[in-house]
C-alpha cells in the first residue's frame, strides 16, 4: 500500500458475547426488517439510505449485479448499449450486464430509461431470471404466471405491491433478502450461496457467515495516508459510508484529518468502504454500526 512505512498489529479489547456486537440490536433468529437490512448490506447488494425512497431502473440494475457473481468482473467500457445510457453514467456497466443477462430489458428505439422507477412487474421477472427461470417456464399470461411463481416461492414475503407499482428501498431490501434464501431452479442450493450466505436453524440467512467471508478489516489509517490507497480497488466506483451513513471519500478525508485517524472495513466484491472516526471507537461498550472495530480483535496500524 502506497505511503506506508511499516505495519504493526495492535490488540483491541473486544468483549463479544455469543457472536459480535455489530448485529447486537438485531435478532439473528428472526426475520425482522433490521436483520434483513443487515444481511442485504453485508452481502454488498445495497445500502438503505431512505426507507421510502423510490428506486430507479438504473439503481435496480446495480443491485441485481451486486447480487450476482458478475459483480466480481466489472470492467470499464467506453461503449454504450443504450442511447440514453452514456458510458459516463455511473450505472452504465450494471445496466449493460443486467440487459445482456435478460434481467432487465430496454424499450423500443434503443433506450433503457434508467431514471424511470422500477416496477414490481419488472423486479419479479428480474429475480426469477436470476434464479434460473426462463420465458418458456411460464404459460398463458406470462406476467400473471411469473407473479404466481414468485408468490409460490415466497419471494413476496413482506413485499406487498401490485403489478405496476414502484418499488421503494425498503421493498428492495425485502426482495433481495427473500432472493438470498430461495432455492435456485432445479437445485437444493439457496441462491445466497453465490454470496457466501448460509441458512440458520430458523430458515433465515445467517449474517455472521457473510461478515466473516465478505468484509475485510479493521485497518487503521492515520491522517496523512490515503484511505483509497489502503484498499485493493480504485475510487471510481467505490461506495463509501462514514460512521454508518452514506458519504464520500472527501468527507472521510476531512473526518480523518479532524480525528487524526480513520478505521476502515472494505468489501472487494461490492467495492464498498465503511469508515469510522466516531469517538470511543476502541471501547468495548459500543454496539451497532460503530462496533465494527471490535469484531476481529486487531487493527493494522499505519506508523508515521
CA dist 94 and 107 (Å) reads 17
Supply the pLDDT for residue 209: 72
Instruction: Compute the average pLDDT of residues 146-167.
Output: 96
Residue 91 near residue 239, CB atoms below 8 Å: no
Question: In whole angstroms, what is the distance from residue 38 CA to residue 17 CA?
Answer: 19
Local confidence band at 136 (pLDDT 50, 70, 90 cut-offs): very high
Question: How much is the pLDDT for 270?
Answer: 66
The pLDDT, as a whole number, for residue 87 is 87
- Grade residue 269 by pLDDT with cuts at 50, 70 and 90: low
Residue 284 has pLDDT above 80, yes or no: no
Domain ranges across the chain = 7-20+209-302, 28-207
Position 304 scores a pLDDT of: 34
For the stretch 70-109, pLDDT in tens is 887 777 767 778 999 998 898 999 999 999 999 999 999 9
Instruction: Look at the pTM and tell me if it is higher than 0.85.
Output: no
**What percent of the chain clears pLDDT 70, i.e. is strictly above it?**
78
What's the mean pLDDT in 281-285? 44
The DSSP annotation for 1-44 comes to: -TT---EEEEE-----SSS-GGGTTS-TTS--HHHHHHHHHHTT
**pLDDT reported for residue 78:** 72
Residue where the block lists cell 440494475: 61
pLDDT one-digit tens code per residue, 104-114: 999 999 999 99
Rounded to whole angstroms, the Cα distance separating 35 from 39 reads 6
Amino acid at each position: 500500500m502506497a505511503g506506508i512505512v511499516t505495519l504493526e498489529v495492535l490488540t483491541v479489547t473486544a468483549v463479544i458475547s455469543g457472536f459480535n456486537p455489530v448485529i447486537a440490536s438485531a435478532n439473528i433468529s428472526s426475520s425482522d426488517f433490521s436483520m434483513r437490512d443487515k444481511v442485504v448490506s453485508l452481502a454488498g447488494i445495497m445500502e438503505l439510505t431512505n426507507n421510502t425512497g423510490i428506486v430507479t431502473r438504473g439503481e435496480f440494475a446495480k443491485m441485481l449485479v451486486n447480487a450476482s457473481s458478475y459483480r466480481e468482473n466489472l470492467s470499464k467500457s467506453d461503449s454504450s448499449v443504450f442511447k440514453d445510457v452514456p458510458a459516463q453514467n455511473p450505472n452504465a456497466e450494471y445496466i449493460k450486464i443486467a440487459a445482456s443477462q435478460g434481467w432487465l430489458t430496454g424499450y423500443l428505439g434503443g433506450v433503457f430509461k434508467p431514471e424511470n422507477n422500477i416496477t414490481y412487474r419488472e423486479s419479479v421477472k428480474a429475480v426469477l431470471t436470476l434464479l434460473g427461470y426462463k420465458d418458456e417456464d411460464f404459460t398463458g399470461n406470462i406476467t400473471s404466471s411469473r407473479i404466481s411463481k414468485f408468490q409460490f416461492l415466497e419471494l413476496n414475503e413482506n413485499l406487498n405491491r401490485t403489478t405496476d407499482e414502484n418499488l421503494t428501498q425498503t421493498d428492495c431490501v425485502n426482495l433481495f433478502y427473500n432472493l438470498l434464501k430461495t432455492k435456485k431452479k432445479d437445485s437444493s442450493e439457496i441462491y445466497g450461496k453465490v454470496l457466501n450466505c448460509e441458512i440458520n436453524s430458523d430458515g433465515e440467512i445467517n449474517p455472521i457467515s457473510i461478515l466473516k467471508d465478505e468484509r475485510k478489516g479493521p485497518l487503521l489509517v492515520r491522517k496523512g495516508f490515503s484511505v483509497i490507497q489502503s484498499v485493493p480497488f480504485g475510487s471510481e466506483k467505490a461506495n463509501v459510508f462514514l460512521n454508518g451513513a452514506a458519504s464520500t471519500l472527501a468527507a472521510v478525508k476531512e473526518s480523518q484529518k479532524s480525528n487524526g485517524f480513520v478505521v476502515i472495513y472494505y468489501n472487494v466484491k461490492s467495492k464498498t468502504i465503511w469508515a469510522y472516526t466516531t469517538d470511543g471507537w476502541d471501547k468495548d461498550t459500543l454496539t451497532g454500526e460503530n462496533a465494527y472495530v471490535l469484531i476481529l480483535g486487531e487493527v493494522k496500524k499505519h506508523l508515521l
